[in-house]
Amino acid sequence: MNGTIENRDSFLRNIASKLNHTSADASQPPAWEHKYMPQEKVYQKYSTEQLVDMMKKACDPIHTKAYETTSDKLAEQLDKIIADYGAGKVVATKDERFSKFGLQNVLSKYDVYTWNYSEGHRTIDRAAEANIGLSICDVMLAESATAGLFNDKDKARSVSLLPETSIVIVPKSLIVPRLTQAMQMVEERVQKGEEIASYINFISGPSNSADIEMRLVVGVHGPIKVAYLIVSDL
């Protein structure tokens, strides 16, 4: 159902008159071609390996650890990382890729709670109590080591936000040079009239702040620790 729009006509009339526009101008998409597009020129010739290298290097300044493994060792490696980060209560997004990647046994071993929106507020409480949140990214931006998560009712935003540690699995095939490619993916959906995720979240490492005397504090309201697990053949 459409929401309401209030007070628009007089507001836009005022703008149009200041800009010397007619009412037809406001309903016609303005034609224009971008003269400058530097974003499309950068990292063009990078191979996937170079992108992985760039991503790993970008992890350091954002206080994030990057691990790399292959699909046959993924379960074993994830098990080890969960233990290294203190295990405890673990919450995971509801994402069919966990079973597709053969991770059911690890999830069972740690009694991982899988996000379930039908449980209402209780599911938020479970995420808030958890020590570790497990997600699988939808796109990874190499330039800034940024995990792009297209959050929805199942792939919940709370999982990468509330627990102290956020572990994100990164299939190597989802690594792109920078924000440009991720934004193009979204724009293509918009142009085709397809629905976009209501919460598109680009996360680069743990939350932080330099608000006190410009000194960096890692871990404010979101996670305090973030780890990426790159899977090189997925």
Partner 1 sequence: MPMQVGNRPFFEGVDEAIHDTFMVNAVSSAQDGLRGRKLSATVGDDALGDWEEWRSAGEEIRAHTINHLDYYLKQLSDNFSARGGHVFFAETAEQAQEYIKKVVKQKNAKHIVKAKSMVTEEISLNEALTDIGCEVLETDLAEFILQVDHDSPSHIVVPSVHKNRQQIRDAFKKLGYEGTDDPKELAGFARRTLRDKFLKADVGITGCNFAVADSGSICLVTNEGNANMVTAFPETQITVMGMERLVPTWKDLDVAVSLLCRSSVGQRLTTYVTDITPEANQEAVDSPKDYHLVIVDAGRSNALGTEFQSALHCIRCAACINVCPVYRHIGGHAYGSIYPGPIGAVLSPILGGYEQYGKLPYASSLCAACSEACPVKIPLHKLLIRHREKYVEGGGHPPVMEKVAMKGFSIGASSPLLFRAGAKMAPIMLKPIVHDGSIQKGPGPMKPWTHGRDLPAPSQENFRDWFKQHKGQKTANLDKGTGESL
Residue 160 CB coordination number (10 Å): 26
- Asked if residue 45 binds partner 1 (CB under 8 A), the reply is no
Q: Which of residues 168-227 bind partner 1 (CB under 8 A)?
A: 179-180, 183-184, 186-187, 190, 195-215, 217, 219-223
Positive or negative torsion for Cα 177, 183, 186, 192: negative
Stretch that binds partner 1, among 30-38, 65-73, 84-92, 101-109 (CB under 8 A): 30-38
Nearest residue (CB) to partner 1, 106 versus 177: 177
**Nearest residue to 97 (alpha-carbon basis) of 173, 194, 197, 195:** 173
Stretch that binds partner 1, among 25-33, 65-73, 97-105, 130-138 (CB under 8 A): 25-33
- Asked if residue 84 binds partner 1 (CB under 8 A), the reply is no
Task: Say if CB 198 and CB 154 are below 8 A apart.
Answer: no
Nearest residue (CB) to partner 1, 26 versus 83: 26
Q: Identify the H or E element spanning 168.
A: strand 165-171
Residue 17 CB coordination number (10 Å): 10
| Least distance between partner 1 and beta carbon 20 (Å) | 6
Nearest residue (CB) to partner 1, 173 versus 209: 209
